[in-house]
Chains A and B, each alone.
Chain A
């Protein structure tokens, strides 16, 4: 038991044991024991749902403060396209890029071109690889992690493509170290992220050992300084237009936007983890073989709905969709920057995602089967109303915890009540046998 995963931390002093986090966690990673939320080691998939529902604000992202990046001689901020949806409708992407630079970076580079290059790579892969169906989108790190641990046999269906921010970071480091005459490690490429999972991706990358990025800052974290910078433009402030930001790249941040810009007929887009899990289960059952591509997003509305964003997701969606309409969804295949990035197949094409099955009852199969019997036996005695009073999200999870030896059956209030009744009956049975009780009975 711990109070930290790779992506979040729980402050026990703030935790009021409300259980919202426990109920919402799709990985069944949270328990509320002795009135405080705790994490089961290794189960968190970094979706951030717990953080969203915690009213006590006890759950926070583990992040580097963006002042920690002073160790670099040259910092480059690369913002997720979701950032552009966080401000008023009259604020142009160019203004945001410019203000972001003043808010704390030596340089800011737009990521939408890299998103287009990633989508063009995906388009080529879906057309060329007709064997594996449906191909699953590789870009949501929470979904990739979910598939690795809970749907391991689907790992081979994930399109093996690197994320655009990684490829962009690698090329920025190559170019800047030459132009500025700096060592590679003197350049810090920092991702401005809408979600926890992309922050974690830097520490434990799903496909490679290390990330090309040097750090990440939450949109919610930089929002204050960025708003201040936007409110006080300098005389030299340029960038009132789109400054190279493209509609096709912005669409990357919207649910359905990835499939839409690569123009596939048999594609579907699924947002929200519970919906994603239903679709993944269907794919396992062999139901989706006539679908070419499934875009799965942990957040209901895609990256604009990330747990580290500020604006409400509906407003953000509407704004970003408007920008995409204004700029057009076409991918700029002939744009020199985009085609140069596309040619970097050495960076974009990765090894297949490895399955990492977890959540088995025991490493030894015979013991796992034994525990399974015990689990079902315990479950049969439980009320199966998922009341949560034991600190587990469902009766089944509680039975699993008991079978694993983490809890005792009497940690269930209903089983405890039964046990108490039984003990009281035994005690009153014993009381009946006391000489005084007999004496009273025997009186005429």
Chain B
């Protein structure tokens, strides 16, 4: 049994930033995933959502739940990332002065997502957008997986 739910994130919408990750977190809690898995996914999802709000125009998020895994696919329309390896370096950031003033852009976004996730994949096309897939193993229901 798996469950899928879709969400939309609007770029630049600071007023609603964090809403999708909050909803996802609530869903994970009501399924009863172990708190470590919920915590890691919540942090990763919040970072991913903020990346969209800060840099992209729009993103479509698909959440998939099954007993042993929680998966996120986030496809955004935006500037894309020219050098993914660099973006995955701790401390690297393209945040503008204004973003930093607001407390963002410490260059922790992507590395922080990768650090908290058990699965992590990223692909990007400059001028089109970025697709980010990440997931957390819940340590439960291993017998059902293959």
- Which residues of A are in contact with B by a Cβ distance under 8 Å? 150, 152-153, 281-282, 284-287, 355, 357, 359-363, 365-366, 368-370, 372-373, 376, 400
Contacts and interface: CB of A to CB of B under 8 A. Distances in A.
Contacts of A400: 30
B1 interface: yes
Nearest to B37: A153
A372 B31 CA distance: 7
Contacts, number: 74
A369 B31 contact: yes
A360 B46 contact: no
Contacts of B5: 376
A373 B30 CA distance: 12
B31 A361 contact: yes
B66 A153 contact: no
B52 interface: no
Given A281-B25, A369-B2, 17 more contacts: A153-B35, A281-B18, A281-B22, A285-B42, A286-B47, A357-B35, A360-B30, A360-B32, A361-B31, A361-B32, A365-B141, A366-B67, A368-B32, A369-B31, A369-B67, A372-B27, A373-B3
Contacts of A355: 35
B39 to A, nearest CB: 4
Contact of B43 (A285, A360, A376): A285
Contacts of A366: 1, 67, 141, 144
A285 B46 contact: yes
A370 B144 CA distance: 15
Nearest to A286: B43
Contacts of B3: 369-370, 372-373, 376
B29 A360 contact: yes
B130 interface: no
Interface residues of B, number: 30
Interface of A is mostly: helix
Nearest to B45: A285
A153 B39 CA distance: 7
A306 B82 CA distance: 56
Nearest to A361: B30
A365 B25 contact: no
Nearest to B65: A369
27 contacts: A152-B35, A153-B36, A153-B39, A281-B18, A281-B25, A282-B18, A285-B21, A285-B42, A285-B46, A286-B46, A287-B46, A355-B35, A357-B32, A365-B33, A365-B140, A366-B141, A366-B144, A368-B32, A369-B3, A369-B31, A369-B66, A372-B3, A372-B30, A372-B65, A373-B3, A376-B3, A376-B5
A62 to B, nearest CB: 29
Contacts of B67: 365-366, 369
A248 to B, nearest CB: 33
Contact of A153 (B2, B31, B38, B141): B38
Contact of B39 (A284, A362, A370): A284
Nearest to B36: A153
A150 B21 CA distance: 16
Contacts of B42: 284-286
Contacts of A368: 30-32
Contacts of A357: 29, 32, 35
A148 to B, nearest CB: 11
Contacts of B138: 365
Nearest 9 CB-CB pairings of A with B:
A360-B32, A153-B35, A285-B46, A286-B43, A365-B67, A153-B39, A368-B31, A373-B3, A152-B35
Contacts of A359: 29-30
A182 B27 CA distance: 55
A369 B1 contact: yes
B47 to A, nearest CB: 8
A156 to B, nearest CB: 9
Given A285-B18, A376-B5, A365 B32 contact: yes
B94 to A, nearest CB: 21
Nearest to A400: B30
B42 to A, nearest CB: 5
A360 B65 CA distance: 14
Contacts of A287: 46
A150 B67 CA distance: 20
A385 to B, nearest CB: 18
Contacts of B30: 359-361, 368, 372, 400
Nearest to A282: B18
Interface in B8-55: 18, 21-22, 25, 27, 29-33, 35-36, 38-39, 42-43, 46-47
B141 to A, nearest CB: 6
A282 to B, nearest CB: 8
A376 B3 CA distance: 10
B44 to A, nearest CB: 9
B72 to A, nearest CB: 14
Nearest to A153: B35
